Structures are given as C-alpha cells and as structure tokens.
Structure 1
Amino acid sequence: MPLEPYRRGATWWAKGRVEYLGKPITDYYRNSTGASEEAGAWAWCRDEEERRINEHLLGANKTLSFAEAVMLYPANNKTATYLIPITEKWGSKKLSSIAPKDVRQLARELYPNASTDTWTRQVITPVRSVINNFRDGDSGDLFHVKGFSKQDRLKQDKRRGKKSRVKKEPGSWEWLLKFRQHAGQRHAALALTMFVTGARISQAISMHPKLHCRLDEGQICIPGAKGHDDRWLDIPKELVDELKALPVLYPRGAERKAENLRLFGFADRSSPRKGWAKACEDAKIPFIPFHAAGRHGFGQEMNIRQSVDEKAAGAFGGWADTALMKRTYTHAEEVSGKVHEAFYRGLKEAEKLTRIKLASGGKSYKPRTEAKKK
C-alpha cells in the first residue's frame, strides 16, 4: 500500500511502500517522520514518494522537470496542443519548484490578450493535470491552483477591450428552418441532428453510418462523451429520411477503409465551419456556432419553449445532472414581454379585488381624498 502516516507516541510515523503505476518500487517502510502533527506527516510521505519516484525514473541525483512530467502524462490531442507552449516555456523547470502563483502568472504571459476562462482552460488545467498525474495523490496532497476571481475577469476584459462569457444565442426552429434553406445537404442534416438530439458537434461528426445508425428502426446512436455512455435514440421520421439520403463518404484525407466512413463525411469538428458560416450569411440570419445551435438549442426548446419534463429532456439529451442542463443550457427569452405580461396579469387581479383602477382614460389614477369638513 502507498505510504501513510500513523501515530506512535508523541510523533507520527509512516508505513507502506512507495508505488509507481500501482507497483511497489521500494521496500516496506516503518519510519519516523519526525512530525508532531498529522499534516506534517502527510507532507513527509508525499515528499518521500516524490523523491523515490524521481530516483526510480531518473536516477538518484536528478529531479523531475516539467517536460519529463509531460512525457508521463496521457494527454489527449487538445490538451497536448495546450501543453506545447507551456513546455517550451517551462520544459527545464523543476516540478518541485512550481508554485500556484507561477501557474497564474504563466497564463498571463502566454496569452496576454485572452480571457481568464482561456487562462484556466489552456494553462491552469493542463499544468495541474500533469503535476497531479505524477504525484498520484489519491491518499495525499494534490496540487491546487486558485482560479481567477470575478474581479480578475472584469479587470482583464477591460484591459483587453473585449467582454468574455458573452451570452450564447441558442438555436430555434425558426433559425434552423432558415439556415437549412441555404445550407448544403450534409450541413442541413447535421444541424437538424444536433438540434433534435442535443448532440455535441464532436459526437455528431464521429458518427459512423453503420455502427451508429439503425435507420430502418428509426434510431441513431449518439457516441458517448464526458463520462457518459453511448445512447440510442428514436428520431423523427423527417430526420430518418434525410440521413438515409446522405451519400456514403470518407472524410478528406482518410484512408479508404470501411471503419473510416463517417455519417456526415466531415474530418473533424472544424470541417463544417466554412459552409456553416456561408449558409448563415446567405440566409441573412445571425451566425450561431455549432454548440449553441445544437445542444443549447435543444435545451432551450425542451425546457423553456415547450416545457418538457426536465427528467425526460435530460435523459434524451444526455445530461445526468438536470440542474446543470437548466443552469447552463437554458436562456432568458423575450424578457421584457414576459415581465410586462406578468405585471399586467397581477395588476388586473388586484384591480378586480380592490375595484381600484391604476389609470383611467390614459390619465394617472388620483386617489380619492376625504371630503372637506364643513
């Protein structure tokens, strides 16, 4: 088992073995940490584990650098892209010398004109993941970096002259119908698929015409994402007909193998962007990005416009947390009209109960005064 502290008299000791990738790399420990508090003993265990893993990987006289830690981290393609400039800057920096404030400062240096959300996504999260992958701190201390506050965000937005977290305009049937009038066959079918299923663009693009379609049964499979399994959905007949009519295509640059076929024929999530933007321009409608048009549009349509049971909408659209769906994927619409309607509805009820009019003949209502005393 990994090193863990236990109390022995007035001091804390450590027991266990140092492990790497689930295998012990040292003999069994039963050593005094010299600490009088449990927190100090845990710190001793983590330092000892880091030192012994360094020795195991690199030899007794070397400390792991950030670049070497990156090589140990199983990054996906997107995270790997974020790690390139970080490693170019910090490659030789010793892992043990990195402090949380250094990570926040690096974000500012690498992306001076970016938003604080970009700093978090492209610097803080990758660095934290690399370090914690090395520490493997399931039973000990993880590397934490304090994020940027609301004040930091507003200050950075002001400095760069651009507002972050701009409100997304969700897709709608009206927008979708106009879009499809000017879109190509694949773009039109892609937009409809995302809007009626809540699929993300990456999920839709990866769909295979055989593996993810049972069109004779009126079903398609939305590939799993973000910890969720694949989900088979019944889809409208109109979408079934459109998907059946799509030509069988290989993405550009893909080897002509059956497993490389894609339902919509696009190579990656950015491939439909040019045609998508042109359809919006030709239709003279606002440009709504994939995610807002599809997943946000589905959430808005189900929860706000049609008032579908949130459990049903969440299950169909692939949200395990319906609170997240309602918090993030629904948006205020026709705000003034709805508020004014509620205002007058309440006013009419009050006027009926009190028999007092707020206004008469376009003139402001004047409360009746008491009769003058004789």
Structure 2
Amino acid sequence: MPLELYERNGWWWFKGRIDRLPTGKYYRQSSGVPSSAPERDAQAAVFQFEGREIKRDLVGDEKALTFADAVLLYPANPMEATDLQKILPHIEDRAVTTITPQEVRNLGATLYPTGSTDSWQRHVVTPIRAVINNAHDLGKCPPIRVKAYSKAERLKQDRVRGKQSRVEKVPGSWEWLLAFRTKANRYQAAMAHFMFVTGARISQAAAILPDDLDLQNARVWMPEAKGTEAQWVDIPMDLVVELANLRPRRPRQGPHGKTRMKEARVFGYASKNGVYKAWKTACKNAGISEIMPHAAGRHGFATEMLVRQKLDARTVAKAGRWSDMALMQKTYMHEEDTSDKVQAALRTGRVQATKAASAKARKAKAKSA
C-alpha cells in the first residue's frame, strides 16, 4: 500500500510502504509538518521522503545523505545555526560524500568576500566540518579534513579587503580601568573590575546571577565557558564591597528592549551583546583607548599577572582557568615596551663590553710594562 497521510497529536503522520522499493519496509512516522498546515505541505514532505528512501536504496546510505540531512542530525548551538542558514543554500542538496575540502575552503570567499580568512574558518569551515564529522560519528558518511588557511592566503585576503586581520589586542591595565570606571555606569564599572581581577570572559560576567555570589567567603561561582567547568573563584575585598552594594537588575529583552527578563543578573545584562555600545561611550567620554571587554578583562588579567607583576605562568593559568598554558602565553600575554627594553639592553650590553675591553687592555698594558 502507498504511504497514507493522517493526523496525530497535532502533526501530519504517514504510514504504509513505498511501492518502488523491493524491500517492502513498512513506515509509520511523523512527516514533521504540523496539522495546522495544509495537507498539501505534508504531502510534499512525504514525496521528498519517498525520493530520499528510493535514492538510499539505489546508491546506499553514504551517497544518499545530503548536507541538509546531515545538518538535521547535528545539535547546532544558536551561533552555528545562524552560520548554517547562510551555508545551506549553496550545498544543501549535495551528497556529503561529494563535498571536497577545497570546495569548503572556497565557499568562505563566496559567502564573505570582504571577510578575513579567520572569519572564513570560523563561520564556514568549522560549521561544515562539524556537521559532516558528526554524521561520520553516527556512521552515516566518511569524515572530512579541511586544512587551515595559510599565512600567505591570509595576507592576500587582507590586501583584497584593504584591512589587516589578527591585529594584536591592547590589554587592559589598572590605569586604563580606573579611568574607564570614572565614566562608565555603575554596572559596567563593576563588570570591568570583575573581569580584570578574575580573567572572566564577558559572557561569563553577563551570566552571573545573585545566587552565584558568596560574598561572606569572598568568592563567585564562575559559569563554565569554552570547555572549562564552572567553579568557585576568589575575588579581592574591594570587589566584594562593590558587589555587596550593587543591586542586581533584570535586563531588558525582546524587540526594542520593551520587556524585562524575569531573572535578575548581577551586572544587569542579558548577554554580552548589550554591553558594547555603552562601553564604547564610556571609553570616549574618559578620553582613553577603546579597549573592548575581552581585551580589557581576560587579556588584561594575563598581562598584568605575567608581565607587570611577573607571576609564574602555572599560577596564572590556574587562577585564570586556562587549561593550556602555552595558549595563555601565546595569545593572552602581551609584552610591553619591547622596543625600549631591547634598546636599553643593547646599551647595557655595549657598556659592559666596553668596560670589559678596557679592563683587558689595561691588564695587557700592565703586563707588557
């Protein structure tokens, strides 16, 4: 019997067999179309399902799996979902096994012609690779490996877009922070202070709830981020006092920020996205460099501890919750006044060498006399 549509629990379902398949398999499942939609929409979904099943029978599961099918198998987060929406129109009907690494790399320039190669990697290569390799983990297709863009490719694309990528961040400092706090609102002033002394990411700071504070013991329950588990983090006493006097507020949300969230946040922001505009205004009003939250906080923490206060790397990595000490030193530690230090060292070396040469000459002269 052909596949037959019927309604069940608010959805269009279908049951029966596909006449063109010799296996005679019986199907009974949802079409994925709600019953509020016209029956023709459900019928179209059933026709698509039949086509996929027939193709799978003819060429096998691997060759029949399209990229769109693989996306449905992948548990994408909101950011990945946004990226995949832009990618899908270009390769959704392609069998996953026919998608080549070079094609994936080339798609970056198609989607983001004025973007950097880092943007291509983040918004194109990474989500496509994640979708296909997830399907591989489920036994649906072979894996895919896509090599990173080279330095030459990065520089070439920078010339095309007329803008340098990978501009080194300027880290925050106590001097910058104190000036920023004079013009920031009290919530952003406290947030900047918190990030600088704990190395927190802005997403973590924005997510902190009143129940996450244990001010009696001078500590905060830091939310997880990028593979680092949630944990208690000690805070200095001046920040304890500031947080004790900071009334949590319910952030605004929805179109034009007309409604407030039910849940209050310590720093009063629903997410990191609501921070930037007022942050830039505070920098401008304070007459200081526009250092954004991640550089002011996490980069500032690492540089303050490692370069200015000269703590050992292992201690700083543990305090700042870096699992990879080499990454911390390579990415988050910024040497300061390097040119002045090098020139001073060269002058010192020259003076020392000159003195040593003079002493040697005096000894040689005394010996010959």
Partner of 1:168: 169
Partner of 1:262: 265
Structure 2: gaps spanning 5 or more residues: 1-48, 57-63, 254-258, 361-369
Q: Which of 296, 299, 315 is the aligned partner of 1:296?
A: 299
Contact 2:303/2:335 (<8 A) preserved: no
Q: Which of 329, 333, 336 is the aligned partner of 2:332?
A: 329
- Where do residues 170-319 of structure 1 align in structure 2 (5 Å cutoff)? 170-210=171-211, 212-253=212-253, 257=262, 260-319=263-322
Instruction: Give CA-to-partner distance per residue, 1:311-347, whole Å, 9 cap, x none.
Output: 1111010111111111111112112211122112222
Partner of 2:99: 98
**How far off is 1:248 after superposition?**
2.0
Q: How far apart, in 1, do the equivalents of 2:100 and 2:167 lie?
A: 31
Instruction: Give CA-to-partner distance per residue, 1:160-193, whole Å, 9 cap, x none.
Output: 1111001111111111111001110000000011
Partner of 2:22: none
Partner of 1:66: 67
Q: How far apart, in 1, do the equivalents of 2:180 and 2:95 lie?
A: 52
Alignment identity in percent? Answer: 46
Which one-letter code corresponds to 2:343 in the other structure?
A: H
**How far off is 1:58 after superposition?**
5.0
Q: How far apart, in 2, do the equivalents of 1:270 and 1:60 lie?
A: 46
**How far off is 1:117 after superposition?**
0.4
**How far off is 1:275 after superposition?**
0.9
Which one-letter code corresponds to 1:334 in the other structure?
A: D
TM-score (norm 2): 0.77
Which one-letter code corresponds to 1:68 in the other structure?
A: D
Q: How far apart, in 1, do the equivalents of 2:165 and 2:138 lie?
A: 34
Partner of 2:85: 84
Which one-letter code corresponds to 2:342 in the other structure?
A: V
Which one-letter code corresponds to 2:297 in the other structure?
A: G
Q: How far apart, in 2, do the equivalents of 1:247 and 1:308 lie?
A: 34
- Where do residues 10-21 of structure 1 align in structure 2 (5 Å cutoff)? none
Partner of 1:30: none
Give the 3 Å change call, closer, same or farther, for CA 327–134 of structure 1 in structure 2.
same
Q: How far apart, in 1, do the equivalents of 2:301 and 2:261 lie?
A: 34
3-state DSSP of counterpart to 2:221: strand
**How far off is 1:141 after superposition?**
5.2
Q: How far apart, in 2, do the equivalents of 1:169 and 1:344 lie?
A: 28
**How far off is 1:298 after superposition?**
0.5
Which one-letter code corresponds to 1:136 in the other structure?
A: D
3-state DSSP of counterpart to 2:323: coil
3-state DSSP of counterpart to 1:169: coil
Q: How far apart, in 1, do the equivalents of 2:96 and 2:351 lie?
A: 68
Task: Say which structure is richer in helix.
Answer: 2
2:358 is equivalent to residue 347 of structure 1: no
3-state DSSP of counterpart to 1:355: helix
Q: How far apart, in 2, do the equivalents of 1:199 and 1:264 lie?
A: 13
Which one-letter code corresponds to 1:161 in the other structure?
A: G
- 154-163 or 94-103: which moved more? 94-103
Give the 3 Å change call, closer, same or farther, for CA 277–204 of structure 1 in structure 2.
same
Give the 3 Å change call, closer, same or farther, for CA 348–137 of structure 1 in structure 2.
farther
Report how many aligned residue pairs link the two structures: 301
Partner of 1:41: none
Structure 1: gaps spanning 5 or more residues: 1-54, 358-374
Which one-letter code corresponds to 1:245 in the other structure?
A: N
Which one-letter code corresponds to 2:98 in the other structure?
A: S
**How far off is 1:98 after superposition?**
0.9
2:128 is equivalent to residue 116 of structure 1: no
TM-score (norm 1): 0.76
**How far off is 1:97 after superposition?**
1.8
**How far off is 1:348 after superposition?**
2.4
Q: How far apart, in 1, do the equivalents of 2:79 and 2:157 lie?
A: 25
Contact 2:97/2:142 (<8 A) preserved: no
Q: How far apart, in 1, do the equivalents of 2:154 and 2:217 lie?
A: 49
3-state DSSP of counterpart to 1:264: coil
Which one-letter code corresponds to 1:224 in the other structure?
A: E
Give the 3 Å change call, closer, same or farther, for CA 125–156 of structure 1 in structure 2.
same
Partner of 1:36: none
Query: Could you say what the CA RMSD is over the residues aligned between the two structures, in angstroms?
Result: 2.3
Partner of 2:61: none
Partner of 1:52: none
3-state DSSP of counterpart to 1:146: coil
**How far off is 1:256 after superposition?**
5.3
**How far off is 1:230 after superposition?**
1.4
